[in-house]
Structure 1
Amino acid sequence: MPRTQLQRREGAAPAGARPGLGYAWYVVFALTAIYMFSFVDRQVLSLLVGPIKRDLGVSDTRIGLLQGLAFALFYTLMGLPLGRMADTRNRRNLIAGGIVVWSLFTSLCSLARSYWTLFLGRMGVGVGEATLSPAAYSLIADYFPNERLGVAISVYYMGVFFGASLSFLVVGMTVDALARTPIITLPLLGAIASWRITFLIVGLPGLLFAMLVYTIREPLRRDLRLTSEGLPSRLSFGEAVAEMKRRWQTVTGLSLGAIFQSACAYGLLAWAPAFLQRTHGWSAGQAGRSLALILVLFGCSGMYVGGILADRWYRQGKCEGPLQVGVWSGLGTFFLLPLALLLQRVEWTFILLAPGVFFLALPMGTAVAALQRIFPNQVRGLVSALFLFFLNLGGQTLGPLGPGFLNDHLFHNDKMIGPSMALTIGFAAILMQVAFLASYAPYRRDYREMRAAAAR
C-alpha cells in the first residue's frame, strides 16, 4: 500500500482529548484485575498434579501437555482472528464475552471424566482468554503516551504474578482443606472427587469480573494510519499483514525473546509446587503460600522496575531500551534460577529463587510496549495477537512440557523434577538473551521509520 501519514497524538481534536492519567491508571488497574483472574483459571492445574495423575492415570509428560499445549493451542489459534477484531470492533465488549467463555469452561473442567475431556476443557479456557490481552494492549496504548507506556503495560502484566499467587493460595488451601475428604456430594453434580471442586471455586466468580469491564470507556483510537486527505484509513487484512511484513525482523526477534522468557516463566510456575512437594515433602498449602509470597513481592517488583528502566532509556533516546531489559533478564535468570533448583537445602533454594524471579519478570511488559511503539493503531491488535501466538504456542508449550518430558525420558524419577526444571530454564535463558540482542538494529530502524511517519 502507498505510505500515508500517521495521526499524531498531539493533533487530536479537543473533543477527542486524551482522558486524564488518573482515569487511565484506573483502566490499567481494572484490566490488571481481570488479567489476574484469568491467570488464576490458567494456573489452577499446577497444584492439582498429584490428584489428577492418580485419578486419571497420566504421566508427567501428559500433565505438561495439559498445562501447556491444551490451553495454548486454541489460545493461539483463536488469538489471530480475535486480535483482528480488537482492531476493528469494540474492545470492551470483546473482553467481556471472553471472560464469560473462559469462566464457564473452567467450571466445566470439574466434570471431566478422562484425560481428553479435561484437555478439551482447557482448550475452551484458552479460547476465552485469547480475547483479553490483544484488546487490553490496544486500550492501554490509546490511554497513555509513549513515554509512559512501558510502565503502564508492565503494571498490567503484574496480573500474571498476582493471579498465579492467588491461584497458589486458593488452590493450596482448598487442596489441604479437602485432603481428608476425597469424595464430596454436591446438588445436581452428585458425588465427585474433592479436587474437582477447585475448578468451580475459581471458575464461577468470573461473571462478576465481566461486569467490571463495563466500567471502562472505549477510548478514541490514536496513532491511526491516515490517508492523503487526513482521514483514518481502513486497512484490509492483507494491508495489515503487509505492515507486519515490513517489520518482520523486529517482530520475529521480539517474539523469540518472549518465547524463551515465557518458557522459563511457565516452566517455573507449572512445576514449582510439584518440585517442593516431591523434593522437600511440602504440602500443597505450604508450597502455595511460599510461592505466592515470592511471586507477589519479587515478580511484581521486577516487572515494575523493568518498565521504569525501559521508559527511562526511552526518554534518554535509547529506543531499544525494552530489548536491553530483556538481555539483563536473561543474564539474571540463567545464573540464579537453575542453581536455586539444584540446591539440596530449601532455604538456599528460596534465597536464590527470589532474585531469580525478579530478573525473570523484568521484560514481561516491556516487550509488548516495544511493539506498540512501532505499529499504527489499525494493526496493534493483530500484531499483539501474532506476538501472543508465538509466545504461547512456543513458551507455554515448551515451558511446562520440558521438565515433564525430561523427567519421564531422561531421569525416570519423580524426585528429579528440580534438575529437569533447571535444564529447561537455563537453556531457554541463554536463547532469550541471543534473541533480544539480535533485535537491536532492526528495532531501531523500524522505530525511526514510525516516528518519521508521525512527523509528516
Structure 2
Amino acid sequence: MTADPRSESRSVQAAPAGEYPAPGYAWYVVLVLLIVGVTSYLDRYLISLLVEPIKAELAITDTQISLLQGTAFALFYVAFGLPFGAVVDRANRRAILAVGIALWSVMTFACGLATSYWQLFVARAGVGIGEACLAPAAYSLIADYFPPQRRGRAMSTYNMSNYLGVGASLLLGGMVLRFLGDAPQVAMPGLGPTSTWKAVFFLVGLPGLLLALLMATVREESRKGAQGEAKPTFQQFFTHLRSFKGAYTAVYFVSALTAFVGLTFAAWGASFFIRTYGMKPAQVGLTLGPVNAVAGVLGCLASGYLSDRLVASGRPGGRFLIPLIWWPIALVGLLALAVAPGKEAALMAVALLTFGSGLGLASVPPTIQDITPNRLRGRATALHFIFSGLLGMGVAPTLIALVTDHVLRDPHALSGSLLIVLCPVIVAGFIACLAGQRVYERARHPQ
C-alpha cells in the first residue's frame, strides 16, 4: 500500500542528535566527497581548454565541439541519472561511488585514444555515464551525516567541487600544456608520438582510479528518517512530486536556468579569452583557473552560511530566497563582461558571475532536501541534475555555438552570443523564483 505523500513530507524532520555521526568524521566524509567531486568536474570540463587544438586536428566546427562539450556527455548523464538515483535510494552508496569513479576515469583516459570525432563522442558519453551516479549518492550520504540545521554548510562545501573542478581543469590543464610545450606532439611511454591535447587526457584521467580506493574509508551511514519501506518505488516518488508539483517545478526550473548560465561560462569561458584577447590556452588556464576556483568557492561558502541562517530564522521561503540574490548578480556580471575594455576587467566580471553562480547552485540540493523524504532523496536529487544537465550541459553550449556560427557568423563574437542567449534566461529565472516562493513555503510546512 502506498503511503500518503503529504504525511511523508511532514516527516522530513531531523533525527535525534545522537543518531548522527561525530562531526569530525562527518566532515572527513565531506572532504573525501569534495576531492571526488573536484576530480569529476576536472574530467568533465578539461575539454573546454582544448577546444582549439581539437577543432584543428579533427577539422570540426564550433557547433560540433559544443556537442562534445555538452550533448555527448549530457545525454547519457541524463539517461542514467534517474536509474542511478533509484539505485542510490536502495543500495550501498559507497560502492556505487567507487564503481562510478573508476568508470569515468577510464573513459577520460579513452578520450585521449580517440582518432575521430565519433570516437571522442563515445568516450565523452562514457564519462557522462560514470558521473551520473555521483551527485545523487553524495548528497544522499551528506544528508545522513548532518542534521538539517547544519546541512546547508556541509552541502555547500561539497558543492565547491564544481568550481574547484572547473578551476582545476583550467589551471592543471594549463600547467600540463605549459609543461608539454608548444609542440603539436609529445612522446608518451608506451604510446609513442601523441597529440598534445590527447596527452592531457591521459595525464588527468588515469590518476582518478586511485580515488575509487579512497571510498573504502567512507562508512555507509544509516538512513535517517526513513519510513520503514526498504524499497521505495517510482510510483511513490512521482506521487510525492505530484502532491507538491508547484514547489518542485519552481525549484527544478530555477536550478536548471542557474546551471544554464553557469555552465555556459564553463564551456566557453576559455575560448572567450583566447579569441577576444589573443591569449594562449596555457595562459588562459593559469589565469582563469584560479579566478573560477576562488570566486566559486566563496560563493558556495556564502550560500551555505546564508541558507542555514535563513532556515534557522524561520524566514518564509527558506533557502529558496537565495536565487533572488543570484539573478541580479548574473545580469550585472554578464553586462560587465560584454563591455569589458580589457582582459583584467573581463576577469573581474567572470569572478562576479562565478561567485553568484556558486551562491545560486550551492543552495539547490539542500533546498530540495528540505521538502523531500529521506528515502526519495536520491531520485529527487537525480531529477535536479537531469534537468540541469539537459539545459546546462546539453542545450547551453550548443545554443551559444549556433548563434555564433549561424546568426553572428563570427567566431570572435562570443560576447554577442552570450548576451543574446543569456539575458532572457536571467530574467526568466528571477521571475520564476519570485513566483514560486509561496508554493515552496507550503511544501516546507504542509498542513
Same fold (TM over 0.5): yes
Given candidates 239, 259, 262, the residue that maps to 1:262 is 259
Letter in 1 for 2:137: A
Given candidates 20, 23, 29, the residue that maps to 1:21 is 23
1:232 Cα deviation from its structure 2 partner: 4.5
Q: Deviations over 1:82-102 (max 9, x none)?
A: 000000000000000000000
Given candidates 286, 291, 298, the residue that maps to 1:289 is 286
Give secondary structure in 1 for the equivalent of 2:193: strand
Question: Aligned partners of 1:8, 1:309: CA distance in 2, in Å?
Answer: 20
Q: Deviations over 1:392-443 (max 9, x none)?
A: 0111122212221111011111111122123333332222212222221111
Contact 1:310 1:321 in 2 (8 A): yes
Given candidates 89, 95, 99, the residue that maps to 1:97 is 99
1:296 Cα deviation from its structure 2 partner: 2.0
- The reply to whether residue 334 of structure 1 matches residue 331 of structure 2 is yes
Question: Aligned partners of 2:12, 2:296: CA distance in 1, in Å?
Answer: 36
Given candidates 409, 420, 423, the residue that maps to 2:420 is 423
- The reply to whether residue 316 of structure 1 matches residue 318 of structure 2 is no
Letter in 2 for 1:222: K
Question: Aligned partners of 1:74, 1:250: CA distance in 2, in Å?
Answer: 27
Partner of 1:39: 41
TM-score (norm 2): 0.95
Contact 1:31 1:156 in 2 (8 A): yes
Segments of structure 2 that go 5 or more residues without pairing to the other structure are: none
Give secondary structure in 2 for the equivalent of 1:205: helix
Given candidates 242, 247, 257, the residue that maps to 2:244 is 247
1:179 Cα deviation from its structure 2 partner: 4.2
Give secondary structure in 2 for the equivalent of 1:363: helix
Q: Which moved more, 1:86-95 or 1:357-366?
A: 357-366
Partner of 1:445: 442
Question: Aligned partners of 1:403, 1:292: CA distance in 2, in Å?
Answer: 21
Question: Aligned partners of 2:182, 2:346: CA distance in 1, in Å?
Answer: 30
Contact 1:178 1:195 in 2 (8 A): no
Partner of 1:73: 75
Contact 2:20 2:147 in 1 (8 A): no
Letter in 2 for 1:191: P
Q: How does 1:107-256 map to 2 (within 5 A)?
A: 107-225=109-227, 231-232=228-229, 234-256=231-253
Contact 1:101 1:128 in 2 (8 A): yes
Contact 1:402 1:421 in 2 (8 A): no
Q: How does 1:333-372 map to 2 (within 5 A)?
A: 333-372=330-369
- The reply to whether residue 272 of structure 1 matches residue 269 of structure 2 is yes
Letter in 1 for 2:101: I
Shift in alpha-carbon separation, 1:52–1:387, aligned structure 2, 3 A: same
- The reply to whether residue 304 of structure 1 matches residue 301 of structure 2 is yes
Contact 1:176 1:283 in 2 (8 A): no
Q: Which moved more, 1:297-306 or 1:237-246?
A: 237-246
Shift in alpha-carbon separation, 1:319–1:146, aligned structure 2, 3 A: farther
Partner of 1:382: 379
Question: Aligned partners of 1:336, 1:433: CA distance in 2, in Å?
Answer: 15
- The reply to whether residue 395 of structure 1 matches residue 392 of structure 2 is yes
Give secondary structure in 2 for the equivalent of 1:68: helix
Shift in alpha-carbon separation, 1:270–1:234, aligned structure 2, 3 A: closer
Letter in 1 for 2:255: A
1:175 Cα deviation from its structure 2 partner: 2.4
Contact 2:153 2:305 in 1 (8 A): yes
Contact 1:276 1:282 in 2 (8 A): yes
Contact 2:141 2:221 in 1 (8 A): yes
Letter in 1 for 2:30: V
Contact 2:144 2:221 in 1 (8 A): yes
Shift in alpha-carbon separation, 1:158–1:8, aligned structure 2, 3 A: closer
Q: Which moved more, 1:89-98 or 1:176-185?
A: 176-185
Q: Which moved more, 1:289-298 or 1:271-280?
A: 289-298
Letter in 2 for 1:259: A
Q: Deviations over 1:291-328 (max 9, x none)?
A: 12211221110111111111111111125232211111
Q: Which moved more, 1:186-195 or 1:365-374?
A: 186-195
Shift in alpha-carbon separation, 1:319–1:102, aligned structure 2, 3 A: farther
Given candidates 423, 430, 434, the residue that maps to 2:431 is 434
Q: Which moved more, 1:83-92 or 1:367-376?
A: 367-376
Partner of 1:88: 90
Contact 2:90 2:230 in 1 (8 A): no
Percent of pairs with identical residues: 34
Letter in 1 for 2:417: S
Shift in alpha-carbon separation, 1:344–1:403, aligned structure 2, 3 A: farther
Partner of 1:228: none
1:361 Cα deviation from its structure 2 partner: 1.5
Contact 2:90 2:231 in 1 (8 A): no
Shift in alpha-carbon separation, 1:18–1:400, aligned structure 2, 3 A: same
Contact 1:7 1:224 in 2 (8 A): no
Letter in 2 for 1:296: A
Give secondary structure in 2 for the equivalent of 1:184: strand
TM-score (norm 1): 0.93
1:187 Cα deviation from its structure 2 partner: 4.2
Segments of structure 1 that go 5 or more residues without pairing to the other structure are: 226-230
Question: Aligned partners of 2:411, 2:3: CA distance in 1, in Å?
Answer: 59
User: What is the alpha-carbon root mean square deviation over aligned residues?
Assistant: 1.7
- What is the number of equivalent residue pairs in this alignment? 442
Contact 2:188 2:199 in 1 (8 A): no
